[in-house]
């Protein structure tokens, strides 16, 4: 297993170099000039040229890339063109927010998705199943920004249960932080729950038809044991892939939720930085997100072994 | 005896008057108007800070926050008059090539050290450094900044320049006085803890969460009535918390929930709801005509739009009032001039423009030999008014037979096109330049300055005189040229809409739209 992990970590290096090159090229290919953004609507061509020179943007692209990559190897992600703050510090401030939001959303999603998916599979083609299908279709179809705004309107403005704006870090004040996180986590988790629940249902349907389940039933095991101990464990492996992909994607930034609930997360930061053509921030954030994504996929691969004994690591 | 009676009567009158005054002062209305010290206000901004160093960025939001923390030598009053802030007075020599600034004595930085002439010299030289400041080129006429004595600074220019004080009063960025030693401590640039001389100290910035300012107890500053960014700066509030709320509907919810006390940008589409409902709840809405100006540029060197008759036809085809209504839902006023209404430089002549006449527009298009060639109008959705006005202009031009294609691009792309003059038509807007000479300089974008050299001469002449009458004449001439040549169609100045709860007292919306919080107190 250790050898497998090491091998995966070594593969990570060329992957990240490739991502770095791609991100660098893509962001520099997008039309728009950070110098013009810095100067705002009152800029003149001379001002823009002067700022480009000061930022080193007038140097050849390959030269800029080599300098950036060289710094990156030494752990220096660069500084923001606008705020002049180190990119890595900003990522460090914002990633925990996104991690917290996504993890809470995942917990919420699993609490909803696992029982409902199993229930729908067990009661296949019954009213319960149809109700489940309607619920999951709604879950994947309702736009996050609309759901978020409705949640704010009802639970913050009308009922006053939760704050409509602001953020308190859960690692600073747990309960107060949780109050700020509940609505965004539910909003985000509902979509995730719908996707995961559908996956649980379809995997369970496949597994429940297999011979070993019939065998377990024939042995006289209770239906509860058959479903939870024998069927669910095997059905969970493909679901795990969906969860991994969803979780990885959201860790890259739950932009809409972060924007509606005014959360200082990584996704919102990345999108704003793209609009402002803050090259070092965009490059640093995407590289970081790629790293997180790859690591989560590796963890999912490792977890496969637990749920499916046929999986071997070599 | 009669003397005693008179004395008693007089004493009685005085007593009655005092009792009346006391009763009045205890009455709710009277008490509410008496400023109170203490408390904290939470203000919703429409975006987050991007930087905290006053010299490195021109973003409006940074200037809004940093005007409370830093101070310039001069600032604009409500009528765009120049007022002293960090200095007590200033004077120019006869030909306006040497300026002398007399600093306020006893003005302290937030680190407790007194601001002296050397600090002003350091700060101005920093603003002139292109590696630090995006505005460095604007100060290229400065040849030397000298600290004549502890409280006197002399700025020498390479040519007469009467507009120089306007540069020091820039609204964004703040041409701030900064302490050298604090910058040195923080690596040459303020990243987290800027130190200034303003009435509020920068306490904390949690990106995308809040910015916290705390009252500077040892603040001393200008006296006299508040006017725009000038006049007295009394910090009644202990703290100011500024919260970025970019989503319009969320900002309204936060205001209704009283999570914020004041909203910097009240979306025009909510005005109807305000009138019907919010006003009854105790919200106050301020609406003040602003300096921001919105326009459509023509590329005078580009195909089709290089034809003067075509441009004039477009001017006849566009009803300024209708475009203004469409773009700002009635919360703006059409203005064919680059000079904002209310500015001392604006005369009635600036209302001269083409009267809406579609028949005349069609006739001119025919004379221009226009045969329906496509004309691209670049715009963006980043600022919705720019998009809305582009749609309205497109509709107006299509009505007379101009084949206008909208090209919606991202804001950075539009900025680049504008700066490079790479457009046939461009829907644009800006915060407004209080100094019209600088506003007319933007004609360079259309390419007109190259074909009409007189424009450059007017700009140069305007920068060399401080005489109001002469300036008004020069700007009238500049407007006449834009009327004749139609390098742009100036559309409107929009109003700033800001809302706050009725317990926020002393708050005034100013024509720059900056929420200024000195002089503001809470009556909760």
Q: Give the pLDDT of residue A313.
A: 65
Instruction: List the strands of the sheet with B87-92, edge to edge.
Output: B87-92, B98-103, B152-157, B142-149
Q: Give the pLDDT of residue B21.
A: 45
Smallest Cβ–Cβ distance between A157 and the set B131, B257, B420 belongs to B257
Which class for B28: exposed (0-12), middle (13-18), buried (19 or more C-beta within 10 A)? exposed
Q: Give the pLDDT of residue B22.
A: 45
Q: Mutate which of B416, B426, B441, B456 to disrupt the A interface (most A C-beta within 10 Å)? A: B416
Q: Mutate which of A28, A33, A42 to disrupt the B interface (most B C-beta within 10 Å)? A: A42
State CA A1 to chain mean position distance: 26
Confidence band (pLDDT; 50, 70, 90) for A253?
A: low
Question: Which residues of B fall within a CB distance of 8 Å from A85?
Answer: 191-192
**What is the least distance, in Å, from the CA of A95 to any CA of chain B?**
12
Q: What is the pLDDT of residues B66-78, one digit of tens each?
A: 999 999 999 999 8
Q: What is the pLDDT of residues A24-51, one digit of tens each?
A: 999 888 888 888 888 877 777 888 888 8
Query: Does ipTM come in above 0.90?
Result: no
Confidence band (pLDDT; 50, 70, 90) for B462?
A: confident
3-state secondary structure (DSSP) of residue B341:
coil
Higher pLDDT, B152 or A216: B152
Phi and psi (nearest 5°) for A169?
Answer: -70, 130
Asked if the bond preceding A87 is cis, omega within 30° of 0, the reply is no
Q: Do A167 and B191 touch (CB under 8 A)?
A: no
Residues 6+ apart with CB under 8 A from B45: B61, B64, B242, B243, B244, B245, B264, B265, B515
Place of tokens 């001393």: B220
Reading the block at residue A160, the tokens are: 């006053």
A194 and A105 in contact (C-beta within 8 Å)? no
Q: What is the pLDDT of residues B325-372, one digit of tens each?
A: 999 888 999 999 999 887 888 999 999 999 999 999 999 999 999 999
Place of tokens 């002549």: B349
Segments of B398-510 assigned E as strands:
404-409, 425-430, 488-501, 504-505
Domains in chain B, start-ordered, CATH in brackets? 40-240+503-522 (3.40.190.10), 292-494 (3.10.105.10)
Task: Centre a 10 Å sphere on the Cβ of residue B134 and count the other Cβ atoms it contains.
Answer: 24
Q: Is a pLDDT exceeding 60 seen at residue A111?
A: yes
B426 and B377 in contact (C-beta within 8 Å)? yes
Q: Do B134 and A38 touch (CB under 8 A)?
A: yes
3-state secondary structure (DSSP) of residue B91:
strand
3-state secondary structure (DSSP) of residue B407:
strand
Confidence band (pLDDT; 50, 70, 90) for B16?
A: low
B173 and A40 in contact (C-beta within 8 Å)? no
The chain A residue lying nearest B140, using CA atoms, is A47
B409 and A30 in contact (C-beta within 8 Å)? no
In chain A, pLDDT over 70 holds for what percent of residues? 97
Question: Strand B375-380 to strand B425-430: parallel, antiparallel, or no bridges (unpaired)?
Answer: parallel
Q: Give the pLDDT of residue B7.
A: 46
Reading the block at residue B100, the tokens are: 């002398």
Q: Give the pLDDT of residue A182.
A: 94
Q: Do B382 and A275 touch (CB under 8 A)?
A: yes
Q: Do B412 and A276 touch (CB under 8 A)?
A: yes
Q: Within an 8 Å CB–CB cutoff, is residue A218 touching chain B?
A: no
Place of tokens 């909003």: A187
Q: Do B245 and A165 touch (CB under 8 A)?
A: yes
Q: Within an 8 Å CB–CB cutoff, is residue A179 touching chain B?
A: no
Confidence band (pLDDT; 50, 70, 90) for B32?
A: low
A187-215 burial: b if 16+ Cβ within 10 Å, else e: bbbbbbbbbbbbbbbbbbbebbeeeebee
Alpha-carbon distance of A32 to A271, in angstroms, equals 15
Q: Is a pLDDT exceeding 50 seen at residue B4?
A: no
Alpha-carbon distance of B65 to B517, in angstroms, equals 10
In chain A, pLDDT over 90 holds for what percent of residues? 27
- The CB-side HSE value for B471 (13 A sphere, CA atoms) comes to 19
99-138 of A, contacting B, C-beta below 8 A: none
Provide the mean pLDDT of chain A: 87
Phi and psi (nearest 5°) for B426?
Answer: -145, 125
Which class for A25: exposed (0-12), middle (13-18), buried (19 or more C-beta within 10 A)? exposed
Q: Do A262 and B136 touch (CB under 8 A)?
A: no
Q: Do B259 and A164 touch (CB under 8 A)?
A: yes
The chain A residue lying nearest B53, using CA atoms, is A83
The chain B residue lying nearest A85, using CA atoms, is B191
């Amino acid at each position: 297993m250790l050898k497998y992990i090491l091998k995966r970590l070594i593969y990570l290096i060329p992957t990240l170099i490739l991502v770095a090159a791609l991100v660098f090229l893509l962001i520099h290919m997008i039309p728009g000039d950070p110098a013009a953004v810095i100067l705002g609507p009152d800029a003149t061509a001379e001002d823009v040229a002067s700022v480009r020179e000061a930022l080193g943007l007038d140097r050849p692209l390959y030269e800029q890339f080599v300098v950036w990559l060289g710094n990156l190897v030494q752990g220096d992600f660069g500084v923001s063109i606008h705020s002049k703050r180190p990119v890595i510090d900003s990522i460090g401030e914002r990633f925990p927010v996104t991690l917290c939001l996504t993890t809470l959303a995942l917990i919420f999603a699993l609490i909803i998705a696992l029982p409902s998916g199993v229930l729908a599979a067990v009661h296949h083609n019954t009213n319960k199943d149809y109700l489940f299908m309607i619920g999951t279709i709604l879950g994947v179809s309702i736009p996050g920004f609309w759901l978020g705004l409705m949640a704010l309107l009802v639970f913050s403005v009308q009922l006053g249960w939760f704050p409509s704006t602001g953020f308190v870090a859960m690692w600073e004040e747990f309960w107060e932080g949780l109050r700020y996180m509940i609505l965004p986590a539910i909003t985000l988790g509902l979509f995730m729950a719908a996707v995961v629940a559908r996956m649980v249902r379809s995997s369970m349907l496949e597994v429940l038809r297999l011979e070993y389940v019939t065998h377990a039933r024939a042995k006289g095991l209770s239906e509860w044991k058959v479903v939870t101990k024998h069927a669910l464990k095997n059905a969970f492996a493909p679901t795990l892939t969906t969860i991994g992909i969803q979780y990885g994607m959201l860790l890259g930034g739950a932009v809409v939720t972060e924007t509606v609930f005014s959360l200082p997360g990584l996704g919102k930061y990345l999108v704003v930085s793209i609009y402002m053509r803050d090259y070092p921030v965009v490059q640093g954030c995407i590289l970081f997100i790629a790293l997180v994504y790859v690591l989560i996929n590796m963890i999912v691969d490792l977890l496969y072994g637990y749920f499916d004994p046929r999986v071997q690591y070599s | 005896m009669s003397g005693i009676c008179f004395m008693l009567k007089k004493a009685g009158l005085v007593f009655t008057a005092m009792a009346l005054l006391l009763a009045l002062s205890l009455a709710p209305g009277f008490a509410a108007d008496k400023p109170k010290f203490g408390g904290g206000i939470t203000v919703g901004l429409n975006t987050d800070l991007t930087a905290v160093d006053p010299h490195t960025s021109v973003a409006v939001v940074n200037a809004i926050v940093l005007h409370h923390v830093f101070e310039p030598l001069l600032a604009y009053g409500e009528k765009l008059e120049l007022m002293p802030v960090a200095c007590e007075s200033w004077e120019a020599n006869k030909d306006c090539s040497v300026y002398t600034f007399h600093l306020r004595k006893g003005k302290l930085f937030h680190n407790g050290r007194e601001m002296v002439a050397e600090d002003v010299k350091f700060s101005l030289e920093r603003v002139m450094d292109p590696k630090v400041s995006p505005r460095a080129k604007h100060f290229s006429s400065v040849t030397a900044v000298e600290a004549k004595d502890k409280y006197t600074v002399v700025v020498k220019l390479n040519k007469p320049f009467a507009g120089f004080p306007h540069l020091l009063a820039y609204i964004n960025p703040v041409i701030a006085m900064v302490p050298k030693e604090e910058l040195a401590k923080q690596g040459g640039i303020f990243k987290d803890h800027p130190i200034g001389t303003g009435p509020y100290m920068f306490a904390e910035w949690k990106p995308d969460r809040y910015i916290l300012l705390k009252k500077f107890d040892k603040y001393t500053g200008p006296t006299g009535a508040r006017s725009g960014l000038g006049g007295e700066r009394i910090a009644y509030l202990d703290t100011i918390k500024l919260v970025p709320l970019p989503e319009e509907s969320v900002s309204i919810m936060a205001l209704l929930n009283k999570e914020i006390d004041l909203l910097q940008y009240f979306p025009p589409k909510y005005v109807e709801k305000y009138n019907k409902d919010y006003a009854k709840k105790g919200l106050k809405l301020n609406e003040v005509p602003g300096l921001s100006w919105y326009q459509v540029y023509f590329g005078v060197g580009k195909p089709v739009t290089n034809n003067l008759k075509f441009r004039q036809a477009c001017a006849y085809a566009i009803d300024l009032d209708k475009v203004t209504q469409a773009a700002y839902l009635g919360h703006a006023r059409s203005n064919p001039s680059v000079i904002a209404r209310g500015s001392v430089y604006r005369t009635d002549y600036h209302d001269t423009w083409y009267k809406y006449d579609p028949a005349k527009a069609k006739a001119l298009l025919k004379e221009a030999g226009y045969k329906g060639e496509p004309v691209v109008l670049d715009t963006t959705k980043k600022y919705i008014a720019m998009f809305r006005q582009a749609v309205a202009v497109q509709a107006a031009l299509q009505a007379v037979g101009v084949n206008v294609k909208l090209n919606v691009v991202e804001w950075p792309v539009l900025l680049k096109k504008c700066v490079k003059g790479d457009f046939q038509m461009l829907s644009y807007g800006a915060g407004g330049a209080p100094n019209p000479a600088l506003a007319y300089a933007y004609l360079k974008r259309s390419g007109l300055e190259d074909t009409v050299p007189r424009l450059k001469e007017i700009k140069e002449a305007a920068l060399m005189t401080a005489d109001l009458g002469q300036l008004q004449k020069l700007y009238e001439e500049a407007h006449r040229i834009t009327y004749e040549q139609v390098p742009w169609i100036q559309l409107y100045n929009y109003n700033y809409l800001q809302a706050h709860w009725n317990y926020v007292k002393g708050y005034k919306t100013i024509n720059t739209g900056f929420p200024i919080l000195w002089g503001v107190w809470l009556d909760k």
